C-alpha cells in the first residue's frame, strides 16, 4: 500500500454531526458593492498596520491604505474605489466586544482598479517576491490570519519537501472552502502549482475530508496530468484540519512540541490562501474579498463572496434572518468559534463562517456539574494532553503547574468540552489561563526594561555626582595655590608686550 492510501489516525477527536449540507444547497453568491465599507486595522496576527491615507482622500480599488508595520504584519487595501469617510474606533469582530481603529470607505460604485501588474517572480527572484507579498495583505484565510509571506519565506532556512494543502475543513457547519473548491477548482490547481514552485517543494498533497465528494471530483478533473500533486482523502474526524493533526493523518509524522512543520520539510496552506496568492502573483490583485459561510438557524443559509468591510448585518438579512429569534451568533465554527458580542460589525479576513446559534448550541443553557474525573476529555484530546488536570490548575490559578502540563500545546479545539458529561466549559478555562500567563510574561518584560532603565539612571546620577565633585576640587586647587596671581601677572606682561609692539610700529611710521 502506497503512502497516498495509508491513513494514520491521531488520538481522540470527535465525530460530531457536520451539518454542512444546509449551506451547500445554493451556489456562492457574489455580493454587490455595499454603500459603506468598514475596514478594521487589526485583522491578522502581528502588528497593527500603519495608516497611509487621510480622511477625504479618494482611493482606487486595490490601493494600499494601511502598510504592514514590520515583518509580522499585513497590509490593508481598499476593496473598491471611493472616498475615505473617516478613521475611527468602531466595533470589530473580537470576543471582547471592544471597539478598535477602522477605516471607513464610501464606495463611488465605479469599482475603478489601480494599475495591476502581474509579478514575474522567476525574473525578480524569490526574495523580492516575498517582499512584495508583505504588502499584498494576504493572510491565512482558514481563520488563523497568519501573514502568508512569512510562511512562503520559510524555505530559506529549511528545505521544503512537501506542500500540504489544507482542504479538510473539519469544523461542522463551515463550507466556504468546500464551495470554493467546487467553483474555483481550476484556479486552485494553478495556485497550488505556483505555491509549490515558490516553496521549491517536490510534491503537494491536498488533504480533504471524505464528506466533500463533489469538491474532490472537481479537483480530480484537473489533477489527471499532474503527477506531483495528489489528493488524499482523510476520514471525517474533528479536528483533522488542525495543521499538526493533518500532517499526521497524511504523512504519519508527529511534529513534536515546540517544533514547527517546516523543520520537517512540510509547509501548509489553506485552499483560499492559495488562490489569494495566485491572484496576487498572476494578476497583481491584493487580498480584497473572501468566501464566507452564513449558516445555522437562518431561512436561507448560504456562502457569499464578499468584499472585506461589508456589513455582517446585511448578509444575515440577505440570508432571510433567524428562524427562531435568539440573537446569538457565533463567528468561526461551533467548536472553536466565539460568541459575537454584536452583529454590527464588518467582514474581515478572519471571518470564515458566522453561525446563527441553534437551540442546542447555546451552551449557557446546560448547567455545568462538578468534574467527576471520568477522563473522557483525555480520551478525546487530539494533542494527548490531560484536560482534567489542566482544568484543575487553570481553575485554581496554578499557572506554572498548568504550563508544566503543556497548556500551550492545547489547540483549543473544544473536543474536551464537547465530550464532558458535566458540561464544564473546559476550553474557556484554558483560554483564561493562557491569556493570564501571556499578560504576566508581558508584565515581566516591562519590569525588566524598567529595572534596566533605573539601574542606568542610578549609575548616571552617580557618575555625574563624581564628575561634579572632581570639577569642584580642581577649581578649588587652582584658586588656592596662588596660581591666580601668577596668571594675572602673565596676562599683564602679555598686554604690556603688545602695547610695546604697537608703539614701536607707530615710531617707524
Partner 1 sequence: MLTSILIILFLAVIIGLVLGFSSVQFKVEGDPIIEKIDSILPQTQCGQCTYPGCKPYATAIANGEADINQCPPGGESGVRALAELMGVEYKPLNESHGITKPKSVAFIDEDTCIGCTLCIQACPVDAILGAAKQMHTIIEKECTGCELCLPPCPVDCITMPEVEEDTENWKWKYPVYNISNVTTNKSKATH
* Residue 101 or 222 having the CB closest to partner 1: 101
| 3-class DSSP assignment, residue 403 | helix
- Tell me if 375 contacts partner 1 by CB under 8 A: no
Residue 483 cell numbers, joined: 596660581
Note whether 434 binds partner 1 by CB under 8 A. Answer: yes
Q: What mask, x for binding partner 1 by CB under 8 A, covers residues 339 to 368?
A: -------------------------x--xx
Using rule CB under 8 A, residue 447 touches partner 1: yes
Q: Does 400 bind partner 1 (CB under 8 A)?
A: no
Q: How far is the CB of 348 from partner 1 (least distance, A)?
A: 12
320 counts as binding partner 1 under rule CB under 8 A: no
Q: How many CA atoms lie within 13 A of 394 on its CB side?
A: 26
By CB under 8 A, tell whether 95 contacts partner 1.
Answer: yes
What is the distance between the alpha carbons of residues 262 and 94, in angstroms, rounded to a whole number?
A: 30
Could you identify the residue written with the cell 610695546? Answer: 500
Q: Write each residue from 404 to 433 as x if it is in contact with partner 1 (CB under 8 A), else as -, in one continuous string.
A: ---------------------x--xx-xx-
Three-point CA angle 171, 177, 181, nearest 5°:
140
Taking contact as CB under 8 A, which single stretch among the options 12-20, 96-104, 324-332, 470-478 is the one that binds partner 1? 96-104
**451 contacts partner 1 (rule: CB under 8 A):** yes
CB of 145 to partner 1, least distance (A): 13
372 binds partner 1 (CB under 8 A): no
CA distance 502 to 130: 78
Buried b (16+ CB within 10 A) or exposed e, 84-110: beebeebbbbbeeeeeebbbbbebeee
Among the listed residues 144, 439, 487, 493, the single contact to partner 1 using CB under 8 A: 439
| Neighbouring residues of 16: CB distance < 8 A, sequence distance ≥ 6 | 172, 238, 335, 418
44 touching partner 1, by CB under 8 A: no
- Judged by CB under 8 A, which of 450, 477, 489, 495 binds partner 1? 450
Angle of helix 271-283 relative to helix 126-134, nearest 10 degrees, comes to: 110
SS (H, E, C) 284-335: CCCCCEEEEEEEECECCCEEEEEECCCEHHHHHHHCCCECCCCCCEEECCCC
Q: Point out which span in 316-324, 378-386, 439-447, 498-506 binds partner 1 (CB under 8 A).
A: 439-447
Q: Which residues bind partner 1 (CB under 8 A)?
A: 42, 48, 92, 94-96, 98, 100, 364, 367-370, 425, 428-429, 431-432, 434-436, 439, 443, 446-451, 453-458
Amino acid at each position: 500500500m502506497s503512502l497516498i492510501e495509508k491513513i494514520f489516525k491521531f488520538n481522540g477527536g470527535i465525530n460530531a454531526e457536520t451539518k454542512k449540507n444546509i449551506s451547500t444547497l445554493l451556489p456562492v453568491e457574489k455580493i454587490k458593492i455595499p454603500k459603506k465599507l468598514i475596514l478594521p486595522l487589526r485583522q491578522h496576527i502581528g502588528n497593527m498596520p500603519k495608516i497611509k491615507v487621510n480622511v477625504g482622500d479618494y482611493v482606487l480599488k486595490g490601493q494600499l491604505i494601511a502598510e504592514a508595520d514590520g515583518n509580522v504584519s499585513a497590509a490593508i487595501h481598499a476593496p473598491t474605489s471611493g472616498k475615505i469617510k473617516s478613521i475611527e474606533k468602531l466595533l470589530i469582530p473580537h470576543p471582547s466586544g471592544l471597539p478598535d481603529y477602522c477605516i471607513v470607505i464610501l464606495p463611488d460604485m465605479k469599482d475603478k482598479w489601480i494599475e495591476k501588474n502581474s509579478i514575474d517572480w522567476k525574473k525578480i527572484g524569490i526574495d523580492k517576491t516575498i517582499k512584495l507579498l508583505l504588502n499584498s495583505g494576504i493572510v491565512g484565510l482558514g481563520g488563523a490570519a497568519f501573514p502568508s509571506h512569512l510562511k512562503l519565506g520559510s524555505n530559506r532556512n529549511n528545505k521544503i519537501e512537501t506542500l500540504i494543502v489544507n482542504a479538510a475543513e473539519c469544523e461542522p457547519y463551515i463550507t466556504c472552502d468546500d464551495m470554493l473548491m467546487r467553483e474555483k477548482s481550476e484556479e486552485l490547481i494553478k495556485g497550488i502549482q505556483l505555491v509549490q514552485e515558490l516553496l521549491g517543494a517536490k510534491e503537494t498533497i491536498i488533504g480533504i475530508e471524505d464528506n466533500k465528494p463533489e469538491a474532490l471530483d472537481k479537483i480530480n478533473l484537473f489533477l489527471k496530468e499532474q503527477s506531483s500533486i495528489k489528493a488524499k482523502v482523510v476520514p471525517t474526524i474533528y479536528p483533522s484540519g488542525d495543521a499538526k493533526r493533518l500532517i499526521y493523518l497524511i504523512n504519519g509524522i508527529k511534529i513534536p512540541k515546540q517544533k514547527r512543520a517546516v523543520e520537517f520539510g512540510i509547509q501548509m496552506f489553506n485552499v483560499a490562501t492559495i488562490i489569494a496568492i495566485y491572484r496576487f502573483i498572476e494578476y497583481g490583485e491584493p487580498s480584497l474579498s473572501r468566501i464566507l459561510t452564513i449558516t445555522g438557524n437562518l431561512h436561507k443559509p448560504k456562502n457569499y463572496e464578499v468584499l472585506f468591510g461589508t456589513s455582517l448585518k446585511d448578509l444575515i438579512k440577505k440570508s432571510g434572518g433567524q428562524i427562531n429569534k435568539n440573537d446569538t451568533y457565533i463567528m468561526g465554527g461551533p467548536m472553536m468559534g466565539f460568541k459575537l458580542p454584536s452583529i454590527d460589525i464588518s467582514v474581515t479576513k478572519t471571518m470564515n463562517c458566522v453561525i446563527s446559534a441553534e437551540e442546542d448550541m447555546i451552551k449557557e443553557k446546560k448547567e455545568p456539574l462538578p468534574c467527576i474525573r471520568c477522563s473522557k476529555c483525555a480520551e478525546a484530546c487530539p494533542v494527548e494532553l490531560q484536560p482534567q488536570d489542566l482544568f484543575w490548575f487553570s481553575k485554581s490559578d496554578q499557572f506554572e503547574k498548568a504550563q508544566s502540563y503543556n497548556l500551550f500545546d492545547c489547540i483549543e479545539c473544544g473536543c474536551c468540552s464537547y465530550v464532558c458529561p458535566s458540561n464544564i466549559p473546559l476550553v474557556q478555562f484554558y483560554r483564561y489561563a493562557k491569556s493570564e500567563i501571556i499578560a504576566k510574561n508581558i508584565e515581566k518584560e516591562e519590569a525588566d526594561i524598567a529595572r534596566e532603565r533605573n539601574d542606568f539612571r542610578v549609575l548616571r546620577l552617580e557618575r555625574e555626582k563624581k564628575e561634579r565633585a572632581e570639577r569642584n576640587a580642581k577649581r578649588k586647587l587652582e584658586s588656592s595655590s596662588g596660581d591666580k596671581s601668577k596668571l594675572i601677572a602673565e596676562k599683564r606682561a602679555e598686554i604690556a608686550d603688545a602695547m610695546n609692539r604697537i608703539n614701536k610700529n607707530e615710531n617707524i611710521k
